[in-house]
Chains A and B, each alone.
Chain A
């Protein structure tokens, strides 16, 4: 199996920036990026259409929405529970990434969204409901709230608070050593892949 020209990804150890909140449980992938914007052969321009149909009315007028209010410095997104449910389309986390977000904090994530987002270098981490409330209410009081993420120690530091977040150990390691894009690892196992394929009666 060829290894091609696969590059390692950037390590993610610390992150800082300004946080903003999109509220609502069960925000689905059709809301995050409506299907008509999936008619493309590249991922270019997806960032322009993130949350399109809740940001703009059918007449094209702007609706009040955190993605309309945010500025370039808002790169950390706070969401609620079951964020990203619905489709397996990677266009959803990509649209969020290309709009300038590079970290997402929530109570829970839909599984496919979660793994897609991490593999493209936008970590998703979970916090408890009380801690989520703490971030949310601090954000309501402090405009342009700054937040620092310490991946290794699993801490979110903001407004004098330091709260812990959850992340599976294996995923955390992959952020710290820049292997969250698994391609190199996958290709490195070519002999084992061939051997399993033979045991299953599959041929290349």
Chain B
């Protein structure tokens, strides 16, 4: 019987089977940042433990960094303390720290692939649930808590449950103006926020094969919003081509050996899956969330209706009330206060390039505050070489410095009161963007750009 990529990687990495569900597994790459690492290092110190494999942990700072004034010390004394804590810990334990000004700093799930760290056939963990992003390269990648960060630092391993795999087959061509973000929002809407609980999602099909690596990252990034701790795509020539120039000091012969090894991890045609879901993506339209979880979304031109497939009436009503919307109403046309293009979901170069046709020679209205936040110093540098930042600035966006920014309110980029923000990020939970009455509407970068130009939630196809 054939095996899935997940089973093959698990097999190679298993150190010991603990019980019928869980094993101790080796971790190839451990990414850390300033929010979930301090207490883990403190636990290590308390127990008098060294870091077992310092070269396999890589650090950066992303959640708490300001995106405008990054002079030190940061105005936020807690943020300053956290970055200093990370700097000290990485120095004490001999861990590489990609800090601001190094040319490599950025959102942890943006820099991993850029630096050639994210590779097929590996197990990658980080104290952040969007670690699933790295699954785009054919890796088992998932988020962990601080105690597990400690486990990985101390032993380069952890004990975790082996997941079953659900095949998400996406075929056909995305329609005009429809992006990978719209497609994954649609899938989550269909399967629900709990749909992936206990499962890894394997995304495949002709649509997935046609996706660029950055589109694949957007899709895998959102797996956790559908309840799947881990989501992946089988590696192929696109994966190898992306990595070819990003792995330092490797000969072309050695790279060929890697390609062969990586190809062997692909799921076998006769692999068995716990469950399957298959759709043709061509009927999917630009999406927008209307509610307070990522599954509460709707096609831009449809009205908000209740379906009991994945939701109870009272939580539907509760979310509508919070968002100040009505059942049967539209999300399109809702006036916005802020717009955000960035995050580990959609903060890569292709995301910024994609909106140029919408914003070029157009200006956002004065009542909208719009932020364009590159996902990393590399993205920022590339964008500036191409002059993209200037197009954003001319249309009224603020071009910021790399970081998590408005995704989650741990830095100064926040909402006030019940402001409405269209966002290319991944979560629209109540209070997510920093105000306990703030309202987040998740869209693709195209949707955010179109909405920013119109000053209200809009269909991006209007401008394309």
| Complex-state Cα separation, A112 to B142, whole angstroms | 9
Please report which residues of chain A, range 75-92, place their CB below 8 angstroms from some CB of chain B when the two chains form the complex.
81-82, 85-91
Interface flag for B334 (CB, 8 Å): no
A41 to chain B, nearest CB (A): 4
Q: Tell whether, in the assembled complex, residue A88 and residue B15 are in contact, meaning their CB atoms are under 8 Å apart.
A: no
Q: Tell whether, in the assembled complex, residue B18 and residue A88 are in contact, meaning their CB atoms are under 8 Å apart.
A: no
| Complex-state Cα separation, A131 to B150, whole angstroms | 37
B422 to chain A, nearest CB (A): 19
Stretch touching chain B among A65-73, A151-159, A194-202: A194-202
Interface flag for B454 (CB, 8 Å): no
Q: Tell whether, in the assembled complex, residue B161 and residue A186 are in contact, meaning their CB atoms are under 8 Å apart.
A: no
Closest to A85 in B: B193
Partner among B78, B148, B312, B430 whose Cβ is within 8 Å of the Cβ of A30: B430
Please report which residues of chain A, range 40-86, place their CB below 8 angstroms from some CB of chain B when the two chains form the complex.
40-43, 53, 57-58, 81-82, 85-86
Q: Tell whether, in the assembled complex, residue B429 and residue A31 are in contact, meaning their CB atoms are under 8 Å apart.
A: yes
Q: Taking A88-B127, A193-B155 as contacts, is the C-beta distance between A108 and B197 under 8 angstroms?
A: yes
Stretch touching chain A among B35-43, B201-209, B234-242, B349-357: B35-43
Closest to B149 in A: A90
Query: Which of A1, A35, A82, A189 is the most central at the interface, judged by chain B CB atoms within 10 Å of its CB?
Result: A35
Q: Tell whether, in the assembled complex, residue A86 and residue B129 are in contact, meaning their CB atoms are under 8 Å apart.
A: yes
Stretch touching chain A among B50-58, B166-174, B383-391, B443-451: B50-58
Q: Chain A 11-53 against B: per-residue CB contact (8 Å), 1 yes, 0 no?
A: 0000000000000111010110011101111110000000001
| Complex-state Cα separation, A119 to B365, whole angstroms | 50
B312 to chain A, nearest CB (A): 6
**Chain B residues within 8 Å of A187, by CB:** 49, 154-155
Closest to B229 in A: A111
| Complex-state Cα separation, A196 to B56, whole angstroms | 14
Please report which residues of chain A, range 175-204, place their CB below 8 angstroms from some CB of chain B when the two chains form the complex.
181-183, 185-187, 189-190, 192-193, 196-197, 199-200, 202-204
Stretch touching chain B among A98-106, A133-141, A142-150, A166-174: A166-174
Q: Taking A39-B76, A41-B81 as contacts, is the C-beta distance between A182 and B48 under 8 angstroms?
A: no
**Chain A residues within 8 Å of B154, by CB:** 1, 4, 183, 186-187
Interface flag for A163 (CB, 8 Å): no
Q: Tell whether, in the assembled complex, residue B26 and residue A182 are in contact, meaning their CB atoms are under 8 Å apart.
A: no
Q: Taking A53-B436, A186-B151, A202-B28 as contacts, is the C-beta distance between A173 and B15 under 8 angstroms?
A: no
Query: Which of A30, A82, A200 is the most central at the interface, judged by chain B CB atoms within 10 Å of its CB?
Result: A30
**Chain B residues within 8 Å of A24, by CB:** 315, 318
Interface flag for B189 (CB, 8 Å): no
**Chain A residues within 8 Å of B432, by CB:** 30, 35
Q: Tell whether, in the assembled complex, residue B155 and residue A39 are in contact, meaning their CB atoms are under 8 Å apart.
A: no
Partner among A89, A108, A183 whose Cβ is within 8 Å of the Cβ of B145: A89
Q: Taking A196-B15, A203-B55 as contacts, is the C-beta distance between A189 and B147 under 8 angstroms?
A: no
Q: Tell whether, in the assembled complex, residue A85 and residue B194 are in contact, meaning their CB atoms are under 8 Å apart.
A: yes
**Chain B residues within 8 Å of A35, by CB:** 408-410, 432, 434
Partner among B56, B151, B318 whose Cβ is within 8 Å of the Cβ of A182: B151
**Chain A residues within 8 Å of B38, by CB:** 40-42
| Complex-state Cα separation, A30 to B129, whole angstroms | 13
| Complex-state Cα separation, A31 to B318, whole angstroms | 14
Q: Tell whether, in the assembled complex, residue B315 and residue A183 are in contact, meaning their CB atoms are under 8 Å apart.
A: no
B248 to chain A, nearest CB (A): 16
Partner among A38, A43, A182, A204 whose Cβ is within 8 Å of the Cβ of B55: A204
**Chain B residues within 8 Å of A120, by CB:** 147
Q: Tell whether, in the assembled complex, residue A193 and residue B50 are in contact, meaning their CB atoms are under 8 Å apart.
A: no
Interface size of A by Cβ–Cβ distance < 8 Å? 63
A6 to chain B, nearest CB (A): 5
Q: In which size bucket is the chain B interface? A: 35 or more
A147 to chain B, nearest CB (A): 25
Q: Tell whether, in the assembled complex, residue A186 and residue B143 are in contact, meaning their CB atoms are under 8 Å apart.
A: no
Q: Taking A4-B48, A41-B82, A112-B145 as contacts, is the C-beta distance between A26 and B161 under 8 angstroms?
A: no
Q: Tell whether, in the assembled complex, residue A115 and residue B79 are in contact, meaning their CB atoms are under 8 Å apart.
A: no
**Chain B residues within 8 Å of A192, by CB:** 15-16
**Chain B residues within 8 Å of A110, by CB:** 194, 197, 227
B151 to chain A, nearest CB (A): 6
Closest to B89 in A: A41
B277 to chain A, nearest CB (A): 19
| Complex-state Cα separation, A153 to B94, whole angstroms | 47
A85 to chain B, nearest CB (A): 6
Q: Tell whether, in the assembled complex, residue B145 and residue A115 are in contact, meaning their CB atoms are under 8 Å apart.
A: yes
**Chain A residues within 8 Å of B54, by CB:** 204
Q: Chain B 418-454 against A: per-residue CB contact (8 Å), 1 yes, 0 no?
A: 0000000001011110111100000000000000000
Q: Tell whether, in the assembled complex, residue A173 and residue B157 are in contact, meaning their CB atoms are under 8 Å apart.
A: no
B196 to chain A, nearest CB (A): 9
Q: Tell whether, in the assembled complex, residue B128 and residue A88 are in contact, meaning their CB atoms are under 8 Å apart.
A: yes
Interface flag for B210 (CB, 8 Å): no
Interface flag for B144 (CB, 8 Å): yes
A-binding residues in B (CB < 8 A): 12-16, 18-22, 24, 26, 28, 35-36, 38-39, 42, 44, 46-50, 52-56, 63-64, 76, 78-79, 81-82, 85, 127-129, 131, 143-148, 150-151, 154-161, 193-194, 197-198, 224, 227, 229, 293, 312, 315, 318, 408-410, 427, 429-432, 434-437
17 A-B pairs besides A6-B49, A40-B38, A119-B147 with CB distance below 8 A are A2-B49, A4-B48, A26-B315, A31-B431, A34-B431, A43-B39, A85-B293, A88-B145, A89-B36, A89-B145, A89-B146, A91-B146, A110-B197, A112-B229, A119-B145, A170-B19, A170-B21
Sampled A-B contacts (21; CB under 8 Å): A2-B50, A4-B47, A28-B429, A30-B408, A30-B431, A31-B431, A38-B35, A41-B39, A87-B143, A88-B145, A89-B127, A90-B147, A112-B145, A116-B145, A185-B159, A186-B158, A187-B154, A192-B15, A197-B26, A202-B56, A204-B52
B-binding residues in A (CB < 8 A): 1-2, 4-7, 24-26, 28, 30-31, 34-36, 38-43, 53, 57-58, 81-82, 85-91, 93, 108, 110-112, 115-116, 119-120, 168-170, 173, 181-183, 185-187, 189-190, 192-193, 196-197, 199-200, 202-204
